[in-house]
Structure 1
Amino acid sequence: MKTILKTLTLALSIVSLSACNAKSKHSVQDLAVTTTVLNTSLKAITPEIKVALLLDTSNSMDGLIDQAKAQLWKIVNELSYAKCDTQHPNLRIALYEYGNDNLNAEEGYLRQVLPFSNDLDEISKSLFSLTTNGGNEYCGKVINSALNQLEWGNEAKDLKLIFIAGNEPYSQGQVSYKEASKLAHEKDVTVNTIFCGDYDLGVSTQWKDGADLTHGNYIAINHNQATVHVASPYDDKILELNEQLNTTYVAFGRRGKAKIEMQAEQDSNARSYNKANAVSRTVSKSSRLYTNSSWDLVDATEEANFSYDDIKDSELPKELKGKSKSEIKIYVEDKAKQRKKIQEQIAILNLNRRKYIAKQNKAANNDLESAMINALKSQAEQKNYKWE
């Protein structure tokens, strides 16, 4: 019994290490024994990057919302290159809006638009649903709501971040931002503040203090700055591959038809800003972060609990209705092979595209994307996350 307890204690101490590559005081021999125990009795938990985006949607924030819509895919792509030890972390994004007269006054003029989600199409759709209108902007209230309503979890390796953007005094409202900051500490959540306007004005209106209290980044941005999309010689081919990529999705279930239509709608939304933005979305769609196992048979087959026996004929697309299980399996496997080949082609083209853009775009940007990526990387490095 004592041996079991000793081994379990050692195992739990290693599981609870806060950094991806943290050093342990235990001996190599102890670690070897514990690793064996963990491998046989505990399933490795994939770390997660959890980002709650709190956006001011009052009248003056049209530029901020436009930047969020136009830069989503660049941010997602940057996060897809992150690595925690030997693992690639999953990404979950939540979205709140606040400071809008159309929102419920009793709730503090705020709304949870989307809880934590890894559905990138749903996240894009939620962003494009936002509209602006005048209102009261209560930063403490919306931060407090995000901390209490979202499932942050207790995994030490997870990177848990709030990004709040706005341009009114940070101290407004009945919920103190200082109390909200204490709650953030308790949940191991870092609050990054993005002031839309002059840097010194943001300091004097407590936006910097709000970040400092949780060891976050304070950034002042020009929220009316137009997003710069750098075109590359690889864009047309990547967009051509996007069309091919879309043909590899096999929609099933009651949500299948609606979800594949949403996929096309978000392709169109990305193109509405710029060709290069559509390219960034295509790169995101070809990455490990774009998964659709709830409605796509190719992704669904990667799930541990998947079985072809669970699928009813009525849930299948017309090209598979009446087919045997073996015929369906062959069809889906062929689509999976096609997808993998297309994704590999996009990855190669994107590598060349990134190098090209890096040479062309040397000027520092003062926008939402740059603020978020810089903060994400600096805080991720504190937990030994690396970028490939």
Structure 2
Amino acid sequence: MKFAQQLFGIGLSLFAITLYGCEPKKNSLNKQTIIAQAVLDKEKPSNNTVKIALLLDTSNSMDGLINQAKAQLWDIVNKFTHAKCGNQGAPNLQIALYQYGNDNLSSREGYIQQVLGFSDDLDEISEKLFSLTTNGGEEYCGKVIQTALGQLDWGKNPDNLKMMFIAGNEPFTQGKLNYEDAAINAKEKDVIVNTIFCGDYQQGIHTQWKHGATLTGGEYTAIDHNRRVVHIDTPYDDVIIKLNSKLNKTYISYGALGKKKIQIQLDQDDNAMEMEEAVAVKRAVSKSSRLYKNSKWDLVDAYAEGTVALGNINSDELPSELKNKTSKEIESYILKKKEERKKIQKEIQELNAKREIYIAKNRKENSKDNLEGAMLEAIEKQAAQKNYKW
């Protein structure tokens, strides 16, 4: 009897190994496997997440790199809008941001700063990117990689896609902490380090940027960080911009955080528009996607996720149009805004599909010689290894 129990335990373990992964294999189910499935469903981490850490050199010569990051953030976000991990559905996206090589940063910390930990708040990510300024300094690649590995919560879910992108233009070997040691630590955490050298391709190889990527199975790319990002204007841009304004009016802020966040939403729209209308269009597309979530301050998202009880909200926490309203009246207003939002988001997505076809027909080149091109190429290759599909 004891042997039979041990045999069943081994069989259950093997079943777990077979099932655990991004896309479970199909198995014929009997009563025992159904029980085993229930146990696994309970124990297996359900948070399928893509985690990307951006490590940006903000020394004097990197203004072009920072501008590319600001302009192309939304391309990276939009890449994951329709991503799926096997049969498990769409993953979450979290982005962290570090700056390094800036004299304004603490020398004790190696001229390194965590600007933002892992966040799925797209407005917050944009706000932090636009806060970056450049200044001369020492650029320690090994140190910033090791710092990001230690400070960020990478998690232990083997299904998650975990990536770093480090960009800069000084030798990868600078600093007391050996980049090879940092790479070993990255591999232990299942984090792929991709390196982007801002300069000549061969110079990046000679200064070990390629080796730094190879050690973790990452991609090495050299870009012209001073190259101006060229966007293709389309007949759909103006309409999408107008729809974005309508979309903003479907948000119902609540609480002290709500007042602050709804202003940040508008500020980041302005930041995108100041760069170029095409950037504002890409941001609007991101805002119409499932990745733009604001349940911490928006009643529509909070109500949809069930994270707020309408009867527990004080009247002074509500916008003027909802003060002194009953819970039923507030609920009716929320549902109305939800339907409006859903309709606007659908319109933006449909227009964006036409926009992408137009861009594909009119694009003269498909250059990787910028931050977006370097990142998207690496993302596609490494996501495929985790069974992510589009």
1:7 touches 1:34 (CA, 8 Å); kept in 2?
Answer: no
Percent pairwise identity: 55
Q: 2 CA distance for matches of 1:33 and 1:357?
A: 51
1:295 shift after superposition: 0.2
Give the TM-score normalised by the residue count of structure 2: 0.94
Change over 3 Å in CA distance of 1:223–1:323 after alignment to 2? same
Q: 2 CA distance for matches of 1:7 and 1:258?
A: 54
Q: What secondary structure sits across from 1:254 in the alignment?
A: helix
Residue 95 in 1 paired to residue 100 in 2? no
Q: Which residue in 2 is equivalent to 1:324?
A: 326
Q: 1 CA distance for matches of 2:387 and 2:33?
A: 20
Change over 3 Å in CA distance of 1:134–1:15 after alignment to 2? farther
Q: What secondary structure sits across from 1:242 in the alignment?
A: helix
Q: Which residue in 1 is equivalent to 2:227?
A: 225
Which residue of the other structure, out of 302, 317, 324, is the alignment partner of 1:315? 317
Q: Which runs of 5+ in 2 are unaligned?
A: none
Q: 1 CA distance for matches of 2:373 and 2:82?
A: 16
Change over 3 Å in CA distance of 1:6–1:310 after alignment to 2? farther
Residue 9 in 1 paired to residue 24 in 2? no
Residue 192 in 1 paired to residue 220 in 2? no
Q: Which residue in 1 is equivalent to 2:118?
A: 116
Q: 1 CA distance for matches of 2:291 and 2:315?
A: 29
Q: 1 CA distance for matches of 2:272 and 2:307?
A: 34
1:274 shift after superposition: 1.0
Q: What secondary structure sits across from 1:115 in the alignment?
A: strand
Q: Which residue in 1 is equivalent to 2:182?
A: 180
> Deviation per CA, 1:172-224, whole angstroms, max 9, x where unpaired?
00111000000001000000000000000000000000000000000000000
How do 1:1-388 and structure 2 match up within 5 A? 2=5, 9=13, 12-14=16-18, 16-17=20-21, 20-21=22-23, 23=25, 29=30, 34-38=36-40, 41=42, 45-86=46-87, 87-365=89-367, 366-387=369-390
1:34 shift after superposition: 3.8
Q: 2 CA distance for matches of 1:181 and 1:332?
A: 49
Q: Which runs of 5+ in 1 are unaligned?
A: none
Q: What secondary structure sits across from 1:302 in the alignment?
A: helix
Change over 3 Å in CA distance of 1:12–1:306 after alignment to 2? farther
> Deviation per CA, 1:149-168, whole angstroms, max 9, x where unpaired?
00000111100000000000
Q: 2 CA distance for matches of 1:109 and 1:99?
A: 5
Q: 2 CA distance for matches of 1:174 and 1:209?
A: 18
2:273 touches 2:279 (CA, 8 Å); kept in 1?
Answer: yes
Structure 1 segments of 4 or more deviating over 3 A? 1-12, 26-39, 41-44
Q: 1 CA distance for matches of 2:304 and 2:182?
A: 40
2:19 touches 2:25 (CA, 8 Å); kept in 1?
Answer: no
> Deviation per CA, 1:288-347, whole angstroms, max 9, x where unpaired?
000000000001012244322332222111111111111100000100010001111111
Change over 3 Å in CA distance of 1:31–1:376 after alignment to 2? farther
2:18 touches 2:24 (CA, 8 Å); kept in 1?
Answer: no
1:54 alignment partner AA: L
1:11 touches 1:38 (CA, 8 Å); kept in 2?
Answer: no
Q: What secondary structure sits across from 1:211 in the alignment?
A: helix
Q: 2 CA distance for matches of 1:342 and 1:11?
A: 45
RMSD: 2.0
1:252 touches 1:317 (CA, 8 Å); kept in 2?
Answer: yes
Higher mean C-alpha displacement, 44-53 vs 267-276: 44-53
2:86 touches 2:388 (CA, 8 Å); kept in 1?
Answer: yes
1:253 shift after superposition: 1.1
Q: 2 CA distance for matches of 1:142 and 1:269?
A: 28
Q: What secondary structure sits across from 1:255 in the alignment?
A: helix
Change over 3 Å in CA distance of 1:384–1:362 after alignment to 2? farther
Q: 1 CA distance for matches of 2:147 and 2:20?
A: 27
Q: What secondary structure sits across from 2:255 in the alignment?
A: coil
Q: 1 CA distance for matches of 2:96 and 2:289?
A: 20
1:244 alignment partner AA: K
1:12 shift after superposition: 4.2
1:379 alignment partner AA: Q
2:18 touches 2:25 (CA, 8 Å); kept in 1?
Answer: no
Higher mean C-alpha displacement, 42-51 vs 91-100: 42-51
